[in-house]
Amino acid sequence: MTKSQTLLKKYFGYDNFRPGQEKIINHILDQKDCLGIMPTGAGKSICYQIPAMILPGVTIVISPLISLMKDQVDSLNQIGIPATFINSTLSHVEYSQTLENIIHNVYKIIYVAPERLTSEAFLNLLKLIDISMFTIDEAHCVSQWGHDFRPSYREIANVILNLKTRPIVTAFTATATKIVKDDIIDLLHLSDPFTLTTGFDRANLNFSVKIPENKNNFISEFIEKNKTNSGIIYCATRKNVDSLFDEISSLGYLVSKYHGGMSENLRSKNQDDFVYDRTNIMIATNAFGMGIDKSNIRYVIHYNMPKDLESYYQEAGRAGRDGNNSECILLFSRSDIVTNKFLIEQTPSEKGHKVEYDKLNDIIDYCNTDKCLRKYILEYFGEIPLFDNCNNCSNCLSTTEITDITIDSKKILSCIKRMHERFGSSLVTDVLKGSKSSKIKSMGFDKLSTYGIMSEYSKDTIKNLIYFLITEGYIECIGDKYPILVLNNSANDILFKNKQVLIKRKIEKISKSEKSSLGIFEDIDYDSSLFEILRALRKEIAEKNSIAPFIVFTDVSLKQMCTYYYYDIIFWWR
């Protein structure tokens, strides 16, 4: 057994390294700079924590995840690895005490927020200690092409340059695009680094894209079926988070929320509630989740389509870190395209927005493709999958039905025309639906021949059809604050030249996903009521020791206990 294998077992309790981990560790121990590009949940932390225990001096870990540093350090201390952190949450007294301990070589690993790196006191401290390795976690933050650029990451290279001896420099990220990778090597001055990109495939994740008539109804039904499971629901805006949170909590579920408009204290309380299993559901913007090591997240639902596949895969990848089957569901609606385009236009850019639009088009294609979703993602990240169909995504598990919507399209287009192309999608929808609102009557729209001609449809369906015609280029949405619908020339082909309009809908074949949405552990026989008892006991132990429940036992371990107990009873009975 090598020293690193012994430490893997001794500190973390694992028998084997995951793909890539040992290679990186060996290169670090050979004094080489390393860049590890591994998907979320692949196990990047162990790649630097184990060498940190073997190298003679201290390892400094730069991480942007201030709110999680305490948890990370607590978990390390819990398993006997001496570690600490320096960030803005420390009081003056705690800070001085920590510096004192650092000087006396108490720790092997020191987590530092990038903003602290350039403080005078810290730079002086670095001169006094023996640093073996500098590790940059979430290294994509150095690149403006990464989805989470942090200007303070640009200082890191200089700080390292000014150390009395250059330590080994290692960087880790889950972002694999070439432009970000080149930026990391370049801007962090990695010296001829050993670069390892592990496979991005996460076989335990079931990917699906759904276009529900009503997203809130879909979510209510889904969480009712997954009551005892932990899950994250990502929304594009704070407003969406607030309203969905109100709705779900009014239904009586244990739910937390998280977004940038909330106070630091409330955010960290809500994050803890979720991580410590006091609530099951987290409704959040993308401000939540980076670095969260909660291994039993069984589903990640995206209420809106994110801006690119990098963000999507990173956020969705927070599901199923323990290797158990988990679901990643993207709820697509065509209005998400309009919102994302609007957001792109809001950010000033001298070079234009080509990169952002290209990325947006890629994720739109992901939502519309008929091909295997897992294959699509892997190819996007530059891999050549060895399969055509994964048989575990919504496309592989469904067939496509093509519906002719020419007549519906004609109704919509002629209604917009009759309203003189001066109104937005809500009012057009109301007219088509035949709303009895006073606004419609006062404007005389109830006299139009198109009034109520789609009354058999729900408003959501009509709106989705309108968005479909927008994304197909027949209608244009003009204006920022109150966008109005205007017909494009191509609309005439439908109205006057009998052009056919076809829409694809997916019909689930059989229900692997339905099966998994009914219970994630469907494939193994185990005693589910015993599982609930053990879960409650785990929560109690975790609370007593102020640690997260998954640190006591992962869901996998609990499930194993329930399996053995179940078989014991069967054998005894026989």
Closest distance between ligand ADP and the C-beta of residue 43, in Å? Answer: 3
Using CB under 6 A as the binding rule, the residues of this chain from 119 to 138 that contact ligand ADP are: none
> Alpha-carbon distance 458 to 435, whole Å?
11
Asked if residue 295 binds ligand ADP (CB under 6 A), the reply is yes
Q: Which of 31, 48, 25, 29 is CA-nearest to residue 166? A: 31
Contact, 319 vs 205, CB < 8 A? yes
Closest distance between ligand ADP and the C-beta of residue 14, in Å? Answer: 4
Q: Hey, which residues does 61 pair with through a beta bridge? A: 111, 135
| Candidates 10-18, 184-192, 457-465, 533-541; binding stretch for ligand ADP (CB under 6 A) | 10-18
Cβ-based nearer residue to ligand ADP, 8 or 142: 8
Cβ-based nearer residue to ligand ADP, 204 or 461: 204
Contact, 400 vs 377, CB < 8 A? no
Contact, 197 vs 24, CB < 8 A? no
Among 46, 60, 160, 171, binds ligand ADP (CB under 6 A): 46
Closest distance between ligand ADP and the C-beta of residue 500, in Å? Answer: 47
DSSP code, position 210: E
Using CB under 6 A as the binding rule, the residues of this chain from 297 to 336 that contact ligand ADP are: 321
Among 247, 293, 362, 508, binds ligand ADP (CB under 6 A): 293
What HEC string does 480-545 produce? CCCCEEEECCCHHHHHHCCCCCEEEEEEECCCHHHHHHHCCCCCCCCCHHHHHHHHHHHHHHHHHC
| Candidates 35-43, 266-274, 300-308, 344-352; binding stretch for ligand ADP (CB under 6 A) | 35-43
Cβ-based nearer residue to ligand ADP, 315 or 408: 315
> Alpha-carbon distance 59 to 83, whole Å?
9
| Candidates 40-48, 213-221, 511-519, 520-528; binding stretch for ligand ADP (CB under 6 A) | 40-48
Closest distance between ligand ADP and the C-beta of residue 196, in Å? Answer: 12
Closest distance between ligand ADP and the C-beta of residue 397, in Å? Answer: 27
Buried-exposed string 449-486: b where 16+ CB fall within 10 A, e elsewhere: ebbebbeebebbbbbbbbbbbbbbebbebeeeeebbbe
Cβ-based nearer residue to ligand ADP, 44 or 298: 44
Distances (CA, A) of 132 to 27, 99, 127, 271: 14, 18, 13, 33
Asked if residue 42 binds ligand ADP (CB under 6 A), the reply is yes
Q: With CB under 6 A, what is the number of residues at the site for ligand ADP?
A: 16
Cα-Cα end-to-end distance for the chain: 42
Residue number of the CB atom closest to ligand ADP: 43
Q: Which of 37, 41, 548, 550 is CA-nearest to residue 318? A: 41
Distances (CA, A) of 440 to 158, 409, 431, 487: 64, 21, 7, 21
Among 20, 27, 41, 410, binds ligand ADP (CB under 6 A): 41
> Alpha-carbon distance 433 to 44, whole Å?
53
Longest distance between any two alpha carbons in the chain, whole Å: 84
**Contact characters 138-177, ligand ADP, x per CB under 6 A:** ----------------------------------------
**For 443, how many CA atoms within 13 A lie in the half-sphere containing its CB?**
17
Asked if residue 235 binds ligand ADP (CB under 6 A), the reply is no
Cβ-based nearer residue to ligand ADP, 38 or 558: 38
Among 3, 9, 10, 14, binds ligand ADP (CB under 6 A): 14
**Contact characters 495-534, ligand ADP, x per CB under 6 A:** ----------------------------------------
Cβ-based nearer residue to ligand ADP, 17 or 423: 17
Cβ-based nearer residue to ligand ADP, 14 or 567: 14
Distances (CA, A) of 167 to 56, 60, 122, 164, 191: 11, 10, 17, 9, 11
Element housing 182 (H / E): helix 178-187
| Candidates 44-52, 354-362, 390-398, 520-528; binding stretch for ligand ADP (CB under 6 A) | 44-52
Neighbouring CB atoms inside 10 A of 96's CB total: 12
> Angle at CA 21, nearest 5°, toward 17 and 24?
145
Strand, coil or helix: 233: strand
Asked if residue 36 binds ligand ADP (CB under 6 A), the reply is no
> Alpha-carbon distance 438 to 200, whole Å?
55
| Candidates 15-23, 62-70, 204-212, 437-445; binding stretch for ligand ADP (CB under 6 A) | 15-23
Closest distance between ligand ADP and the C-beta of residue 39, in Å? Answer: 7
Asked if residue 548 binds ligand ADP (CB under 6 A), the reply is no
> Alpha-carbon distance 459 to 513, whole Å?
28
**Contact characters 195-234, ligand ADP, x per CB under 6 A:** ----------------------------------------
Closest distance between ligand ADP and the C-beta of residue 199, in Å? Answer: 13
Q: Which of 284, 64, 40, 222 is CA-nearest to residue 271? A: 284
Closest distance between ligand ADP and the C-beta of residue 175, in Å? Answer: 12
What is the contact surface with ligand ADP in residues (CB under 6 A)? 14, 16-18, 21, 38, 40-46, 293, 295, 321
